[in-house]
Amino acid sequence: MPTKPRDPLPPTPRVPRRGLKAYETPGFLKSRDARIIRMLCEYMEPLQRFQRLQVRETIVLFGSARARPIAAVQPELEAAEAERKKYKEKVPKEVREKLERLQMDMRLARYYEDAAELSSLLTKWAKSLQEGNRFVVCSGGGPGIMEAANRGATERAGGKSIGLTISLPNEQTGNAFITPELLFEFHYFFMRKLWFVYMSVALVIFPGGFGTMDELFEVLTLVQTRKITRPLPVVLYGRKFWQEFLNWDALVRWGTISAKDLNLFKICDDPREAFNWLSRSLLQAYPKPMKWGPMGVEGGVPPDRREKAPEVTPSPEI
């Protein structure tokens, strides 16, 4: 029996639409299921940028976000001292407490100035080597000591500086002294920590709080356990602070660390002292620039194969 012919379909009533690709779907990329993708982005994008800009070696400065320049603290301190003098006998508690706080702020301000000076010295020296982007100063990108580190490198030395910021509620991110193309903002603390250490060839730890101590002890643990095998000189800056805050000899006495572990760092109390030790150590350990290789940044000379580096005598402008 013959089949009745079908009526032809009418013209398409709707305009064809295209679906969203997965990597163009904001709702998915910000979801819990895509967390691993976001983590990879915080590894791959900085890696690509550092490679493109030929940055391979960093000197990382850590320290308190609460430190301010002397010029910012001095007027407030003078005003508080003048207010205290108004009271001949009993000084109100709030006046005393304000004055004591500002006196401590002034002590901390000294480290802001020293961080800027040390950063400037290191950057001018690195530029004088004329070997590209060597020994670039890096910080957490925030205020305080971090700002001083970036400021010394860019404002005083005319060099580049890196800022590895973190997104936190109700806090600013990215101080004004970071080289724009080297400003990064992370969501994950652990990815930010990775980039602090991944290319670092030296660390300087200024007085700071919980975040500073977290970075210090994590790095010392990685060096002690040889998870970091390349040379990594560490400076603890500010003898009075570190001697008051930590009793390293007690850790040895209690047997929780070995006496040789005290050689993992050096305590310095002057920008020039820290600069001289770091520049000598870095020339010994990294006589040639590190290179990007299949396993990341590669280079450095093991201690048993190093030649003694000459004393660094900076020119007057450094």
205 within 8 A of 241, measured Cβ to Cβ: no
Cβ atoms of 85 and 143 within 8 Å: the answer is: no
295 — pLDDT class (breaks 50, 70, 90): low
pLDDT level of residue 303 (50, 70, 90 thresholds): low
Flag whether 311 is in a domain: no
Residue 78: inside a domain: no
Residues paired with 296 in a beta bridge: 293
CA dist 103 and 98 (Å) reads 9
C-alpha–C-alpha distance, residues 218 and 17, integer Å: 52
For 213-239, what is the HEC assignment?
HHHHHHHHHHHHCCCCCCCCCEEEECH
**Domain assignment of residue 270, yes or no:** yes
pLDDT band per the 50, 70, 90 thresholds, residue 312: very low
Q: For residue 267, tell me if it sits in a domain.
A: yes
Q: Is the pLDDT of residue 180 over 70?
A: yes
Note the maximum CA span of the chain.
121
Instruction: Give the residue, 181 or 295, on which the prediction is more confident.
Output: 181
Give the residue numbers spanning the domain of 195.
57-68+111-288
pLDDT of 17 strictly over 90: no
Give dist(CA 41, CA 45) in Å, integer.
6
Answer whether 144's CB lies under 8 Å from 66's CB.
yes
Q: Return the pLDDT at 301.
A: 64
Which three-class secondary structure state does DSSP give residue 310? coil
Question: What average pLDDT does the segment 19-44 reach?
Answer: 92
The answer to whether 63 and 144 are in contact (CB under 8 A) is yes
Among all chains, which residue has been given the structure tokens 């890196």? 162
**Predicted pLDDT of residue 41:** 96
Q: How many domains does the chain have?
A: 1
Nearest C-alpha neighbor of 59 from the set 142, 130, 131, 121: 121
Q: Chain-wide mean pLDDT for the chain? A: 90
Q: At what angle do helices 93-128 and 70-85 cross, to 10 degrees?
A: 160
Q: How far apart are CA 264 and CA 106, in angstroms?
A: 30
Nearest to 159, CA basis, from 183, 196, 133 = 133
Calpha distance 294→61 (Å, rounded): 27
- pLDDT, residue 11, reads 74
Does residue 10 lie within any of the structural domains?
Answer: no
Question: Within 13 Å of residue 105, how many CA atoms lie on the same side as its CB?
Answer: 20
- Cβ contacts of 229 within 8 Å, gap of 6 or more: none
pLDDT for the residue numbered 310: 43
Residue 202 domain flag: yes
pLDDT band at 112 (very low <50, low <70, confident <90, very high): very high
Reduced to 3 states (helix: H, G, I; strand: E, B; else coil), residue 252 is helix
Nearest alpha-carbon partner for 194 in 160, 168, 228: 228
In a domain, 103, yes or no: no
Q: Is the model's pLDDT at 282 over the cut of 90?
A: yes
Lowest mean pLDDT among 5-9, 18-22, 27-31: 5-9
* C-alpha R_g of the chain: 26
Among 33, 7, 32, 29, which residue's Cα sits nearest to residue 20?
A: 29
Give residue 215's pLDDT.
Answer: 96
302: number of CA atoms within 13 Å, CB side? 4
Confidence of residue 273 (pLDDT cuts 50, 70, 90): very high
Name the pTM for this structure.
0.87
The total of other beta-carbon atoms located within 10 Å of residue 60's CB is 26
Assign residue 148 the CATH number of its domain.
3.40.50.450
Query: Which tokens go with 165?
Result: 């910021």
C-alpha triplet 198, 185, 36: angle, nearest 5°: 70
Cβ pair 135, 233 in contact under 8 A? no
Query: In this structure, is residue 300 part of a structural domain?
Result: no
